[in-house]
Amino acid sequence: MPPKEQEEEHLAHAARDLAALSVLLLRHLGGHHHDQQELLEEQNNIAFSPMSFHAILSLLAAGATGAVRQQIISFLGPAGAEAHAALAFKVASYVLETHEEEEDDDDEEEASRPPEVRCSMGVWVDSSLNLKPSFAATATSNYKAEARAVSFRCTPGQARVEINEWFECKTGGHIKNLLPESSISASTLLVLANAVYFRGY
């Protein structure tokens, strides 16, 4: 099979795995509702990004080894680590590529503008640890994720503020305070975070 066709086949298998993972996540996230009537009464909506979950898990697999890596790959699906890494790269590079929003006061032109998608992913590791250069390079080149060192141990509050400010900047101010106060402590060693903003106009 030609390399191009083989790549497309691997991507197709990974996409099927992602569809199955999406259904699994939807069932899990919506599982706290005992029945449909309770869901209607509470009038709750569930919105999540399967691609964000996939990107984070694929990035974790890229940095993991041994049994942990195999568990992550098994959870992603039978397509395999390389296929899922290729799908995550394709999504990061083409599907969720962030485009700067142009200011325009013309209502007609605004109505014809394409949907706005802003996706950002980052890796923050405590400054007491050494992040492998190969992992940092993979995160940057394949997942469009920035890798940074912060002091969770000494200044967890400041680290949380720094991460939140980074996401606010990367999403054009649309996503603020991504990490709540209780999410970071002095025992935190690593944070992998992903944020997606979508506006359909």
Last residue of a domain, one of 60, 94, 128: 94
Q: Is residue 179 situated within a structural domain? A: yes
Instruction: Supply 1's token pair.
Output: 């099979």
Last residue of a domain, one of 45, 63, 94: 94
Residues 132 and 191 in one domain: yes
Into how many domains does the chain fold?
Answer: 2
Q: What is the pLDDT of residue 66?
A: 95
Residues 72 and 151 in one domain: no
Residues 195 and 124 in one domain: yes
Instruction: Report the mean per-residue pLDDT for the chain.
Output: 84
Residues 156 and 78 in one domain: no
Q: How many other CB atoms are found less than 10 A from the CB of residue 61?
A: 21
Burial tier of 25 (Cβ tally within 10 Å: 0-12, 13-18, 19+): middle
**What is the per-residue pLDDT across 54-92, written as a single tens digit (0 to 9) for each?**
999 999 999 999 999 999 999 999 999 999 999 999 888
Residues 46 and 81 in one domain: yes
> Dihedral through CA 8, CA 1, CA 57, CA 88, nearest 10?
-30
Q: Is residue 22 situated within a structural domain? A: yes
Radius of gyration of the chain (CA): 19
Domain containing residue 167: CATH number: 3.30.497.10
Residues 123 and 77 in one domain: no
Residues 73 and 118 in one domain: no
Q: Is residue 107 situated within a structural domain? A: no
Distance CA 103, CA 72 (A): 42
- Which of 110-114, 151-155, 195-199 is predicted least confidently? 110-114
pLDDT at 18 over 90: yes
Residues 82 and 137 in one domain: no
Phi first, then psi, for residue 119 (nearest 5°) are -125, 130
Averaged pLDDT, 166-184:
91
Q: Is residue 102 situated within a structural domain? A: no
Question: 15 is in which domain, residue-wise?
Answer: 3-94
Q: Is the pTM of this model over 0.75?
A: yes
Pairing relationship of beta strands 145-150 and 116-126 according to DSSP bridges: parallel
Distance CA 176, CA 173 (A): 7
